[in-house]
Amino acid sequence: MKKPLPWWQRPWVRVTAGLLVFIVLGGAVGGIYLSQQPPEQPIQFPHNFHVGSGIPCLYCHPGAQWGPVAGLPTSDKCWGCHQQVAKTNTSPELQKLAAYVKNNESIPWVPVFIQPDHVHFNHRPHVAAGVTCETCHGDMTKMTVAEPIRGQNMGWCLDCHSKQEKEKWTRLSDCATCHY
Amino acid sequence: MAEETNQGVWGLVIDLNLCTGCNACVTACAMENNIPWVGEEDAGYGRSMSWINMQRYWEGEYPEVSPSYQPVMCQQCGRAPCEPVCPVFATVHSESEQINLQVYNRCIGTRYCANNCPYMARKFNWFDYAYNIPEPMNYYLNPSVTVRRRGVMEKCTFCVQRIHDGQENARAQGRAVIDGEIMTACQQACPADAIIFGDMTDPESQVSQALRSQRKYVLLEELGTQPKVTYLKGEGYYGG
Amino acid sequence: MSDSISRRRFLQLTGLGAAAAVMTGCGPASRYVVRRPYTDMPEYARLGESTYYATTCTECPAGCGMIMRTFEGRAIKAEGNPAHPVNSGKLCSRGLTAVQGLYNPDRIKGPARRAKRGEESLAPLSWDEALGEVKTALSAGVKTAFLLGLAPDHLYDLVSELAETAGTAKPVRYGALGMFEARATLVEAARQLFGEARFPFFDVAGADLVISFGANFLETWLSPVAYTRGYSQFRRSFGADKARGYFISFEARRSLTSGVADEWHPVVPGSEGLLALALANLLAERGWNLPVSSVDPAAAAEAAGISLEALTAVADRAAKAARPLFIPGGQALAHSAGLEAARSILALNLPKGTLGQSGGMSLSPAAADAASMKDVQALVDRMNAGQVETLFVHGVNPLFELPAGLNFAGALGKVKRVISFATYPDETALQADLLLPDHSALESWGYQRTLAGTAASAIAARQPVVVPLYDTRSSVDVLLSAGLLPYADEVEFIQSRLLPVLSAGGGNFDAAEIETFWARFLQYGGWWSAQGAQPAAQAAAEAAQPVQPQSLGEGKFRLVVYPTQLGDGSGANRPWLQETPNTSTTVMWNSWVEINPKTAEELGLHNDDVVLIKSDAGEVEASVYLFPAIRPDTLAIPFGQGHTALGRYAEGRGCNPAEVLAPVLNAAGDLALGDTLVSITPTGRRRPLSRYESKVGVYGEH
C-alpha cells in the first residue's frame, strides 16, 4: 500500500502551481511588452500624411511652445480643415471624426508619451533650447499613429542632459528638476 | 547663459510675533501638496501626514499660564542629518535649489531619515492613504505634485513645484524672478502674513530684510544643521 | 524536495512582484490615462495650464474673496483674492478645504422623495415633478415658511421678495455661528447706541490697545480672516511711528485668540457687562466722558473672579492709550444680561472720539438681516400650531445647530411637507420629505454682502468654477420656476439686484451697462467702494443696569461652548478640517471636555476619562482633556461634532453640545447659552482622544 503523498507533492497541485507561475510571469512580460506598443487609438490618425503635407507640429500641439504639455487638438480644430476636404465624406476613418463632431463628443485619444506620476516634464524649456520634436517623439513622417520610443527612461533623459553646457549640469542633473 | 545665473537660496522666515496659531498654513499645505488624511485611529498613533506641525507649548501655572504656537516644517537644513543615513540616496541635497529633496521613486521606506531628523518634520506613508481617497474627492489632487504611495517618506518641499513654476515663467519671459512672485502655499494662506519666503541671496528681498531682525533664531542651532527656516521671536511674553 | 518548493515559491513571489510593478507603473492618480480634449476650447483656456476663477467663499457668511485654481475642469486649490477688501488674498482653514465639500463623496446626487422621515431609503424623483411640488407649496401663501442659512445673500433676497409679492412667510435666517456670537444682541446694542441696526466693525489694525470681552475674533467671530489681518498690522512696529499694539483679553478659557493676548484675565462668564461698567467708572475717574453707574469696581472684580489691582491696571493702560478698542464677543453677550453687556462694552468706544476713524469703531454698511433665536422660536411656535404647511430649508441644519430644548424636531413633525435644498445629507435632510439638492457653493452663482470684515461697502461675486457634478439644481432657479417673480433665471435676478450698485458708481471699476458690469463683477470677484457708512457720534448714553453673573450651585459648573474650525458644524464632513489639530489641545476627529487640572484632580478625573455632562436641558458624553488655561469652575466643549448624519467623515464622532444648552433667551432675543449650568459625572469608561501632542497606542501612554 502506497503512503499518500503530502499535498504539496501531488501532481495536480504542482501542475496548477506551475500554471499559475506561467500566467503571472506571462502577464508581467506581456504587460511590459504592451507598454512598448502603440496603444489602440479611436481613429487611426496618419501623422505621416499630415506632417508630410507640411503642417507644423505646433499647429495642432501648440502647448509645447508655452507650457508643460503639448496638448491634443480640439475636434473643432480638426473639423476646421476637414469640413473643406472632400475625402472627409468618403474615408471610413474620417467618418469617425465626422461622427464625433456631429455628436459634440470629445475624441478619447490614448496618450502615448505619458510620464508616470512622479515625473514632471515641461515642453517649453526643451523647445526653447532648440530641441526638435523628433528628438523625443521619433520621425512622425514615418508613423501613422504615434509610437512609443523604446527605453525612454531616466537614463535616456540624462543622456541628453549630460551633453549640455557644463554650467547647466547642476540644474539639469538635480533630482528636483523632474521629481517632486 | 543668463538663465543660469543665480538660482538663489530659498529661505523662510516665520514671525512668531504675528502667528496666531490659526492652522491655515497646515490646511493650505495639505491642499496644495496632496497630503492625505489618515483618520482618527491612525492620527492617534501619530501617523498624521501634515507637513507643518503647529507646536503648542504651555508655560506657567493657572492663572498665569500662557501658550506659544510655533509652526514647524522641514527646516531644509544646509547640513541635514537626514541625508547621510539614507541607504538609497532618496534623501539628497539639491545643489540647484539648496533644499533637501525627497525623491519618492527612490525611497524604499527604511525610515532612517525620520529617525535622524531632530525636527520631527518627516512623515511616513504607513498605508496607501492618498490612493484610498474615495471618488470623486481625488479630483482636487494637484497635478503638479506626485501622489505618494505606501512605504514612502515625505516632507515639506518649500513648494518646489511653485518655485519651478515661478522660475519657468520668468525664464519664458526672459527676466529674473521678482521677489514675492514665488509664494509657498502656507505663506499665501497665512492671514497674519507671519510667513515670508524668498531668495536669501538678494539683500533687498523681504526675507533678507526680515533676517536682519534682532529677534531671529533658528531651531536647535547647537546641532549645526544650518536650517533655512528662521523664526523671529515674539516681542511679547511668548514666542519661543 | 523542500528545496524545489521553496524555489517555486520564490518564483511565484517574484512573478507577483513583477506584475505589481507593471500595474503600479500606470496607476492613474492625478492624471488621466485617456485624454479627452475639448471639442470647442474656450478662448481663455491654455492647454496644460490652470485656469483661475474669482469667486466668493460661502463656508461662513464673512464673504471672503476666493480665487479657485482649476485644471482640466477640476477645482484644485482655493486661494485668497488679493484684491478683495475683506481678506486681501488670505483664507482660513475652512475656505481652503472648500474643494472637499465640492467633491464630497456623500453629496446628494439628485432630487429624491423620502417615503418615511428619518429613513435613509429614497425614491427617485424627476425635476419636473419636484418643480410641480414647489409650485404647489408656494401657492399656499403665508403657510409656506423658509428657514435659511447665513449665506448666500442672493437667495435670502429672492425669498424676501417672494414673501412680499407672493405672500409667503418672511424668511427666517439663522445659523449656529450667529447663535454663538450672539449677533442679534450685538446689532441691537449698536442700534440702541447709534440708531442703526448694523454690525460694528473694529479697526484693530489702527488701534494701539485692544480689550476683548470674550471675542474670538482670530477664530470664527464675524470675519476672522479680516480680523487676523488687522491683528497682524496691530502687532507690527515701525520704529518711532508705530509701537506694537497691546492686547488684553477677558475670557473664561484661554482660547486661541486669548492665547496671543499679552494679558489674559479668566473672568466668570456673564460678568463681562459688570466689568465693563466698573471699567467705565474707573475711566471716568481718569477723565473720560462716560456716564457713571452705581457699580463698585472692587465688588465687580470680585464677582468676575479677578483682582481689583488687575482691573485698575487695565483702566490705567486704557486711559493712557491713544486709540483703544473694546470688543464685545459672543461669550460676553450670550447671557440673559447680554444686551446690557453689549451696550456697556460698546459705549467704552465712544469717549475717545475715534468713531469711524483709523483705530476706531465704525458700522459696517450692509444691513444686518439675520434673525435672532426669538424669530426661530416664533417659527417653531407656528409650526407647532399647525400654521406651517410647507417648510423650505436651505443652508442651515436646525436639527443639529439649534438647542435640543427648542424641540425643533417635534415641531417639524407637525409640518405637512418639509423640502430640503441641502447639498449634503445632514440631519435635517434626513427628516425632509423632498430633497431638491442645490449646487455646492463652487458650482453656483450668487453674491454675498460682506458681513463685518471691512468698513467699506462690498458685494462679493460668486460664480461656478466647475460644471455641476451631479443632477443638482440652483435653489433660486427652482423657486423662480413657479413663475411668481418676473425673472427668467438666477443670473437675471442677480443682475437686477446689481443695478443700484451700477448706478451708484465709485467702486473698484466702472461700467456703463449691466453686461459690462457683470463681466467685471465676475472678473474682479465683486464690487467694492472705499466709502463706508460712518456712524453718527452719539452723546454718551446712559449707563446700563448692572447685572450680576449667575450664581453657581453646589457641584455645578459653568459651560463654555465654542465653535472651532468646523464652524457651524457643516465643516465636519471635510476630512482635512477633522484632521487639522485643534491648536490649543491638538485633538483631532473628536469632541472633548476641557477641564482645569486642579478641578479634575478634585473630581478624580484623568485625561481621556469619559464623563457625562448634564444640564436641565439634556446631557452629552465626551472624553476629558485637562486644559491648563480654563477657570476651575468652568467647563468647555467645542461645537461641530456629534453628527448623526452628514456623511462618512462626520457621523458618529464626538458629541453635540447644543443638546445641553438651555433654551433661554436674552432681551435681544438671542440664546443665553452662556448661562447654562452643568454637572459632571464620571462614567468609569475611558476613550483615548487622538492627539497630536501624544502618541497614544504606540508608547502606551496618554
- pLDDT, position C592: 95
Range 99-118 of C in CB contact (< 8 A) with B? 99-100, 102-105
Find where cell 464620571 sits: C682
Range 14-33 of C in CB contact (< 8 A) with A? 15-16, 18-19, 21-23, 25-27, 29-31, 33
Taking an 8 Å cut-off on Cβ atoms, the answer to whether A76 and C39 are in contact is yes
Q: How far is CA A103 from the centre of its chain?
A: 27
Q: Min CA distance, C469 vs chain B (Å)?
A: 9
Average pLDDT score over chain C: 87
C105-149 tens-digit pLDDT? 999 999 999 999 988 889 999 999 999 999 999 988 889 999 999
Q: Give the residue ranges of DSSP H helices in C97-152.
A: 98-102, 127-138
Higher pLDDT, residue C212 or C18: C212
Chain B residues within 8 A of C579 when measuring between CB atoms? 37-39, 43, 48, 50
Helix axis angle, C183-194 relative to C338-347, nearest 10°?
Answer: 50
- pLDDT, position A2: 66
Q: Give the residue ranges of DSSP H helices in chain B.
A: 24-32, 40-44, 112-116, 160-172, 185-189, 206-211
Q: What confidence category does residue B15 fall into, taking pLDDT thresholds of 50, 70 and 90?
A: very high
Chain A residues within 8 A of B146 when measuring between CB atoms? 117-118, 179-180
Pick from B181, B232, B213, B226: which is nearest to B71 by CA?
Answer: B232
Higher pLDDT, residue C550 or B54: B54
Classify strands C619-626 and C609-614 as parallel, antiparallel or unpaired: antiparallel
Grid cell digits, residue C314: 487695565
- pLDDT, position C356: 83
Average pLDDT in the A94-100 region? Answer: 90
Grid cell digits, residue C553: 450651585
Residue B91 inside a domain? The answer is: yes
Grid cell digits, residue C156: 435670502
Q: What confidence category does residue A1 fall into, taking pLDDT thresholds of 50, 70 and 90?
A: low
Q: Min CA distance, B139 vs chain C (Å)?
A: 6
Chain B residues within 8 A of C87 when measuring between CB atoms? 191
B127's enclosing H/E stretch is: none
Taking an 8 Å cut-off on Cβ atoms, the answer to whether C579 and B43 are in contact is yes
* HSE value, Cβ hemisphere, 13 Å, CA-based, for C231: 32
C644-689 tens-digit pLDDT? 999 999 999 999 999 999 888 988 899 998 889 999 999 999 998 9
The residues near C637 (Cβ < 8 Å, ≥ 6 apart) are C559, C560, C561, C591, C592, C593, C594, C613, C620, C622, C655, C657
Q: How far is CA C651 from the centre of its chain?
A: 20
C305-351 tens-digit pLDDT? 999 999 999 999 999 999 999 999 988 999 988 999 999 999 999 88
d(Cα C663, Cα C376) in Å, to the nearest integer?
A: 11
d(Cα C354, Cα C376) in Å, to the nearest integer?
A: 36
Beta bridge partners of C592: C623
Buried/exposed code over C399-428 (b: 16+ C-beta within 10 A; e: otherwise): bbbbbbbbebbebbeebebbbbbbbbbbbb
Calculate the alpha carbon distances from C560 to B38, C173, C543, C589, C631 in Å: 30, 24, 27, 20, 11
Q: Where are the domains of chain A?
A: 47-72+109-178
Instruction: List the single residue in B with minimal CA-CA distance to C579.
Output: B37
Residue B239 inside a domain? The answer is: no
d(Cα C379, Cα C699) in Å, to the nearest integer?
A: 53
Q: What confidence category does residue C699 fall into, taking pLDDT thresholds of 50, 70 and 90?
A: very low
- pLDDT, position C570: 92
- By CB atoms closer than 10 A (0-12, 13-18, 19+), residue C247 is buried
B99-143 tens-digit pLDDT? 999 999 999 999 999 999 999 999 999 999 998 899 899 899 998
Of B18, B21, B145, Cβ closest to residue C259: B21
Chain A residues within 8 A of B165 when measuring between CB atoms? none
Residue to test with chain C: of B29, B51, B56, most C Cβ within 10 A: B56
Average pLDDT in the C692-697 region? Answer: 62
d(Cα C640, Cα C652) in Å, to the nearest integer?
A: 12
% chain C with pLDDT above 90: 63
| Number of domains composing chain B | 1
Higher pLDDT, residue C65 or C551: C65
Calculate the alpha carbon distances from C242 to B195, C207, C235, C323, C500 in Å: 21, 10, 10, 12, 40
- pLDDT, position C21: 35
- pLDDT, position C697: 41
Instruction: List the single residue in C with minimal CA-CA distance to B185.
Output: C79
- pLDDT, position C311: 94
**Is a pLDDT exceeding 60 seen at residue A34?**
yes
Calculate the alpha carbon distances from C121 to A87, A101, C112, C134, C438 in Å: 55, 41, 10, 22, 20
Residue type (1 letter), C166: A
Q: Min CA distance, A166 vs chain C (Å)?
A: 31
Instruction: List the single residue in B with minimal CA-CA distance to A128.
Output: B172
- pLDDT, position B237: 52
- pLDDT, position C468: 92
d(Cα A101, Cα A106) in Å, to the nearest integer?
A: 8
User: Domain range spanning residue B64?
Assistant: 2-232
- pLDDT, position C695: 53
- pLDDT, position C6: 38
Is there a contact between C696 and C690 (Cβ–Cβ < 8 Å)?
A: yes
Give the phi and the psi of residue C67 in degrees, each rounded to 5: -115, 120
d(Cα C341, Cα C335) in Å, to the nearest integer?
A: 9
C595-628 tens-digit pLDDT? 999 999 999 999 899 999 999 989 999 999 999 9
d(Cα C162, Cα C141) in Å, to the nearest integer?
A: 10
Residue to test with chain C: of A24, A35, A65, most C Cβ within 10 A: A24
Q: Give the residue ranges of DSSP H helices in C107-152.
A: 127-138
Average pLDDT in the C435-449 region? Answer: 93
Taking an 8 Å cut-off on Cβ atoms, the answer to whether A70 and C12 are in contact is no
d(Cα A26, Cα A24) in Å, to the nearest integer?
A: 5
Residue type (1 letter), C208: D
Is there a contact between B117 and B102 (Cβ–Cβ < 8 Å)?
A: no
Range 424-463 of C in CB contact (< 8 A) with B? none
Chain B residues within 8 A of C697 when measuring between CB atoms? 44-45
Buried/exposed code over A137-176 (b: 16+ C-beta within 10 A; e: otherwise): bbebeebebbbbeeeeeeeebeeebeeeeeebeebbebbb
Average pLDDT in the B66-72 region? Answer: 91
Q: What confidence category does residue B7 fall into, taking pLDDT thresholds of 50, 70 and 90?
A: low
Q: Min CA distance, C573 vs chain A (Å)?
A: 28
Q: What confidence category does residue C18 fall into, taking pLDDT thresholds of 50, 70 and 90?
A: very low
Is the bond leading into B136 cis (omega within 30 degrees of zero)?
yes
Average pLDDT in the B80-109 region? Answer: 91
Q: What confidence category does residue C532 fall into, taking pLDDT thresholds of 50, 70 and 90?
A: low
Residue B238 inside a domain? The answer is: no
The residues near C627 (Cβ < 8 Å, ≥ 6 apart) are C253, C584, C585, C594, C595, C596, C597, C636
d(Cα C318, Cα C322) in Å, to the nearest integer?
A: 8
Angle at B227 between CA B225 and CA B233, to 5 degrees: 120
Touching subunits for chain C (3+ Cβ pairs under 8 A): A, B
| E strand intervals along C144-195 | 144-148, 172-173
Q: Could you tell me if A153 lies within 8 Å of chain B, comparing CB atoms?
A: no
Of A24, A29, A108, Cβ closest to residue C16: A24
Domains of chain C and CATH, by start: 112-173+370-529 (3.40.50.740), 180-355 (3.40.228.10), 557-691 (2.40.40.20)
**Is a pLDDT exceeding 60 seen at residue A89?**
yes
Instruction: List the single residue in C with minimal CA-CA distance to B70.
Output: C583
Average pLDDT score over chain A: 87
Is there a contact between B48 and B74 (Cβ–Cβ < 8 Å)?
A: no
Instruction: List the single residue in A with minimal CA-CA distance to B33.
Output: A180
Taking an 8 Å cut-off on Cβ atoms, the answer to whether B168 and A125 are in contact is yes
Grid cell digits, residue C608: 481621556
Average pLDDT in the B147-168 region? Answer: 92
d(Cα B198, Cα B181) in Å, to the nearest integer?
A: 9
- pLDDT, position C10: 35
Grid cell digits, residue C36: 479627452
- pLDDT, position C1: 36
Q: Residues of B near A (CB-CB distance < 8 A)?
A: 1, 4, 7, 92, 94-97, 99, 101, 103-105, 144-147, 157, 160-161, 164, 168, 171-172
d(Cα C111, Cα C692) in Å, to the nearest integer?
A: 41
The residues near C421 (Cβ < 8 Å, ≥ 6 apart) are C392, C393, C394, C395, C436, C437, C438, C475, C478
Taking an 8 Å cut-off on Cβ atoms, the answer to whether A171 and B157 are in contact is no
Q: Mind giving me the DSSP string for A25-82?
A: HHHHHHHHHHHTSPPP-SS---HHHHHHTT--HHHH-THHHHSS------HHHHHHHH
Q: Min CA distance, A172 vs chain B (Å)?
A: 9
Higher pLDDT, residue A8 or B16: B16
d(Cα C405, Cα C402) in Å, to the nearest integer?
A: 8
d(Cα A39, Cα C239) in Å, to the nearest integer?
A: 67
CATH of the domain at B7: 3.30.70.20
Average pLDDT in the A100-106 region? Answer: 87
Q: What confidence category does residue A167 fall into, taking pLDDT thresholds of 50, 70 and 90?
A: confident
Q: What confidence category does residue C698 fall into, taking pLDDT thresholds of 50, 70 and 90?
A: very low
Average pLDDT in the C693-698 region? Answer: 54
Residue B237 inside a domain? The answer is: no
Calculate the alpha carbon distances from C655 to C246, C612, C613, C640 in Å: 37, 11, 10, 8
Instruction: List the single residue in C with minimal CA-CA distance to A97.
Output: C39
Average pLDDT in the C580-592 region? Answer: 93
Q: What confidence category does residue C533 fall into, taking pLDDT thresholds of 50, 70 and 90?
A: low
The residues near A148 (Cβ < 8 Å, ≥ 6 apart) are A35, A36, A37, A38, A112, A113
